[in-house]
Amino acid sequence: MSTAQPIKLRITGMDCADCAKSVQSGVGGLPGVQQCTLNFGAALLHVEGNVAQDDVVARIRQLGYDVQEETAQTETNHATGNAVVGFIRFLLQRRATTAALMGAMLILPGLLFNELLPMLNLSSPLLDITSLLALALAGAPVAQSAWRTLRLSRQINMNLLMVIAAVGAVIIGAVTEAGLVMVLFAVGEALEGYTMERARHSIQALMEVAPAEATVLRPCMDCRAHLGQDGYTGGPCPFCGVEEVTVPVAQLQIGDTMLVKPGERIAMDGRVVKGASLVNQAPITGESTPVAKREDAEIFAGSINGEGVLEIEVTRLAADNMISRIIALVEEAQARKAPVERFVDRFAQWYTPLVVAIAVLIAAVPPLLWHQPFWGDQGWLYRALTLLVVACPCALVISTPVTIISAISNAARNGVLIKGGAYLELLAKVRAIAFDKTGTLTEGRPSVVKVKAVDCQQIDLTQSFGDAACPGCAPCDDLLRAATMLERRSEHPLARAVVNAATQRGFAFDLAPAQNVVALVGQGVSGDVGGHHMVLGSHAYFDAQVPHAAPVCQEISAMADRGCTSMLLSEDGRYRGYIAVADAIRQESQPVLAELHALGVEASVLLTGDNRAAATAIAHQAGIRDVRAELLPAQKVDAVQELLHQYDVTAMVGDGINDAPALAAASVGIAMGAGSAQALETADVALMANELRKLPYALRLARAAMRTIRANIAFAIGIKLLFLGLVLFGLGNMWLAVLADVGASLLVTLNGTRLLRFDAQPQSNGSTPL
């Protein structure tokens, strides 16, 4: 049956990027296929067109691979899937690699006596027989793959190069070398596949942070103990209430209430309906400290509950929760190739056929024109066959994708979502960064920045925007206590800021709410505290109702120019002092800006719609000199385009919603996400933890990835050129050439996967490892 619905399949059995090209070309050639793309990093095939899924699966199996259909159930069961096993067990799991392992055992006698110790003159027909058996066992799957790819995909791949080289070696009598070439190639391909599986598993392992079961609060159903009592005939029992039931995560439904006890992992995304606790979200967002969660707070699967008991309403199913969305986005990111990766792919397309043509010329031209020897272990046929082995592009093709996959996976595990290799490459080249103010350099919520009582006992050191009021001053503490008692039961953002400030000072929990509290709409709040009538109100209210000195007005006006809102307090009609509240700068903003400049970022610019005084104050604390304030969204876009013209590669950091036009205009748009769906979808890079300190890490990781790619490419090409020279001068042999190719592939793969262990924290000497 044909369908126009997109087909999504997870491919198994692919060891290298060449395998992915064979599958993509083979499936793309089916009648009715309009578009076919294969994400090698995630092993995901996407097919669009009027084609039956059975036909697609049949073609994949004809090419020698297998499929696992991507369904909601498999997404749910990622955590229970097979983990990456040891290399020997990996070899034994597949028929082709098991045969290669058997071939490796059979080739050992020929390698020992024919190649390594020929001076012993222990030649025997048995050595040739074991070598031929090794060639047959290891080479049969390679030859089948080469023929299928040539027939179905119309491509000459590296498998065909190895088959030609091995058959030619047998023809000229180098039987042991032929077997050894095929065994080393097959084992090397398996090793590539193994390391790629480890890289893929690094992101799939995110699913393992969520438990497989959850404790759910459900009513007692059809309770036999109470049937018939007070007219109860069945259904939810009105006498038993709810009971704790342990169920598999796959059985959770939206609206279920989960019970999460202290220390337990949260099984599904949801909303807190009862309780309060500190929750460790580091496995999901990478946040360095636990986050306070209370009623109505959003919570993510895989987070670890602190000391409180939480009742959480399930808001998403397993296939739609934050972990699954992160994995899906990372897998999509792996499909977006960096420019350097696309160049390598284009190069490999014409490289392999060209190598075959050059090998034919090397085998034919010297004997025909200069009467050089054609046969023999130093003849030009042997050199041409060795060239085919040397020219195998395994190391070159694998060098870039394995590095990008490893870097993107490491970033995701540390709370940074990079949407593709292209953005990873651009991050490495960033020379200028533009920052939004509210919610990016600042906390994005009001907090107390100054408390000043009329009888303050300390010298006023709080002239700068972000300094706290005199620590240890009893009158200022009393002022904050009184304000906290008035605001204790209010949910207004300014009231929350006052209560939070008292909590940080350690005395909010001991304060009872004020009595007879009355809201003065638009002006403040009044109430009775300790037998005194107190009012906490705006400057305008106090100008009209409560006398206060002119210097106080000047201070408050100056604070207002810098973006502060001041609340004045009176006791029985007498002015007591004021509390200034503002969107305070993040503690990490200044260190992050300093680190970015140390990393070589040439320009940091503040773009905000706020007034210039407030913007300048924040910029001064953060260490930013270029301030552009009072900007409309379109003017922010103009400013970003100006930076692009001046510095070329420019990043814009914002909240992912209000700054969407500027984020889109920049070379790289970076959203401060806090795990929000908007940030995940709109930005090129999302800082999940809403922590600005992740930005230098992302730049260091991107630069390390680009250095690794350049080193890998240089090494892969260098090794080819070296052995090419040895072959042309008759100094190399076939099995050393394939050993060098396998070794190069292994080294570039291992070098790329080192980024899976890239440290999120900068080294003490400021250097960044490859």
Residues 548, 566: Cα–Cα separation, whole Å: 14
Q: Which residues contact 259 (CB under 8 A, 6 or more apart)?
A: 215, 216, 217, 244, 309, 310, 311
CA atoms within 13 A on the CB side of 310: 35
Among residues 408, 420, 427, 404, the alpha carbon closest in space to that of 708 is found at 404
Q: Which residues contact 736 (CB under 8 A, 6 or more apart)?
A: 723
Residues in the chain, overall count: 770
Among residues 295, 318, 289, the alpha carbon closest in space to that of 308 is found at 295
Residues 413, 410: Cα–Cα separation, whole Å: 5
Tell me the sheet residues that pair with 578: 452, 568
200: left (phi over 0), alpha (psi -120 to 50) or beta: alpha
Question: 10 Å Cβ neighbour count for 271?
Answer: 14
Which position has the token pair 């039931």?
245
Q: Which residues contact 704 (CB under 8 A, 6 or more apart)?
A: 407, 755, 758, 768, 769, 770
Which position has the token pair 């110790």?
117
Looking at this protein, which amino acid is placed at residue 624?
Answer: I
Contact 441, 589 (CB under 8 A): yes
Residues 654, 268: Cα–Cα separation, whole Å: 28
Among residues 159, 152, 161, 107, the alpha carbon closest in space to that of 129 is found at 107
Task: Please indicate whether residue 436 is annotated as part of the active site.
Answer: yes
Contact 157, 144 (CB under 8 A): no
Contact 183, 134 (CB under 8 A): yes
Token pair of 358 as six digits:
């050059």
Tell me the sheet residues that pair with 313: 257, 271
Burial class of residue 600, CB neighbours in 10 A (0-12, 13-18, 19+)? exposed
Residues 202, 4: Cα–Cα separation, whole Å: 33
Which position has the token pair 């020379």?
431
Q: Which helix (H) or strand (E) holds 91?
A: helix 87-92
CA distances, 92 to each of 10, 15, 19, 100, 580 (Å): 21, 15, 20, 10, 69
Residues 289, 287: Cα–Cα separation, whole Å: 6
Ramachandran angles phi, psi of 442, nearest 5°? -110, 175
Among residues 460, 531, 448, 430, the alpha carbon closest in space to that of 494 is found at 448
Which position has the token pair 């999504």?
8
Q: Which of 15, 256, 269, 436 is catalytic?
A: 436
Q: Which residues contact 563 (CB under 8 A, 6 or more apart)?
A: 465, 582, 583, 610, 611, 613, 614, 617, 618
- Active-site residues, by number, are 436
